[in-house]
Amino acid sequence: MQRTAGYSVMLAAAFAAASAAGAGRAPSAFSAAEAAMTPAATGRVRATGRGRLPRRAGSEAQRRLMARRAAVVEAYKNAAMRLGMGRSVVSAGTGTETVHGFIRGVELIETRYYRDGGVEAEVEFTVPAEAVPVAPPAEDPRGGEEELLMVEKGGGPMPEEEWREILGGGGR
């Protein structure tokens, strides 16, 4: 009981900070259609994370799974940063990001696999509408230049055949 109360307080403080951070922004800078699509209007937050194949890993299958996990973890981090739970610090040419927060009810919406080994994961979760600062939609940083290999919808269990196809193993 005590642990749950601590998480609630921490989450409430993060929502208050996110609300205060977004209070100075002018939502009138966007069209009515864009404003209707923002997370502030819907109470839903979406975030995308990217993962790359690691240089060293046991097998190709392990490398692909590690890239997928990296993409999901980065998506969680980006969601927390979007709510004002983290900070970025750049020093001596290196970038460090720290995130402290508690988010629950996160749903994996889509996972995209690219031919170059890159993976993108998109997550979504619900928050109180007043907790989300209004921001314009993010541009696609890939710019559509890389060829999409596969898209996985949802985060539920996948049949073994699909995993084998993703991991390049084909049959047994």
Q: Which of 84, 138, 80 is nearest to 104 (CA)?
A: 80
Distance, C-alpha 81 to centroid of its chain: 10
* Range 20-28 average pLDDT: 38
DSSP the chain: -HHHHHHHHHHHHHHHHHHHHHTTS-GGGS-HHHHHHSHHHHSEEEEEEEE---SS-SSHHHHHHHHHHHHHHHHHHHHHHHTT-EEEEEETTEEEEEE-------EEEEEEEETTS-EEEEEEEE--GGGSPP-PPPP-TTTT-SPEEEEEESSS---HHHHHHHHT----
> Which residue shows structure tokens 């100075």?
24
Reported as half-sphere exposure (CB side, CA atoms, 13 A), residue 164 has a value of 7
Answer whether residue 4 shows pLDDT above 60.
no
Q: What is the pLDDT of residue 159?
A: 63
pLDDT in tens, 35-45: 444 544 557 88
Around Cβ 35, how many Cβ atoms within 10 Å? 14
Question: Among the ranges 16-20, 94-98, 105-109, 165-169, which has the highest mean pLDDT value?
Answer: 105-109
pLDDT in tens, 91-130: 666 666 677 777 778 889 999 999 888 999 999 988 766 6
